[in-house]
Amino acid sequence: MAVTKSLTKAIPYEKNSKVEEWDMEFTYENDSEGDATYYTSTFNNHVAATDSTGTVNFTAKAKASWTKSELEALCPTSHWDVVFASQVDSVITNPVINPVADQSYAIPS
């Protein structure tokens, strides 16, 4: 299982030329498109500099000052890793097999 993950979207919300919030999107892919084991999932995250409980998530600064690694660090990727692995397991590795009706079954006499 070769999993790749990448930050595919980052939208800054600015106030006084400093980013106060981010909307981000991460895309995970298992193997390559066209492979029997290919699976993809997208995760979204909205993070404010200071959340509603007063927790400081990041210090507001100009959008040009942000690095990709700083943006990625704002995302709960360790949680998403677990969720994605579970999705791949349930869809690719161990898919649910539903029972099949046998319409030709004859009731014994």
pLDDT of residue 89: 92
Q: Are 70 and 19 in contact (CB under 8 A)?
A: no
**Confidence (pLDDT) at 93:** 84
CA 75 to chain CA centroid, Å, is: 9
Q: How confident is the model at residue 1 (pLDDT cuts 50, 70, 90)?
A: low
Domain borders along the chain are 3-92
Give the pLDDT score at 23.
98
Q: Three-state DSSP class for 84?
A: helix
- As a whole number, mean pLDDT of residues 90-102 equals 88
Per-residue pLDDT, 94: 87
Contact in structure between 63 and 12 (CB atoms under 8 Å): yes
- Give pLDDT, residue 95: 81
Tokens of 95: 């898919």
The three-state secondary structure class of 12 is strand
Q: Determine the length of the chain.
A: 109
Tens digits of residue pLDDT in 36-95: 999 999 999 999 999 999 999 999 999 999 999 999 999 999 999 999 999 999 998 888
Instruction: Tell me the pTM.
Output: 0.81
Beta-bridged to residue 27, according to DSSP, are: 6, 42
Q: Which residues pair with 41 in a beta bridge?
A: 28
Q: Contact, 52 vs 64, CB < 8 A?
A: no
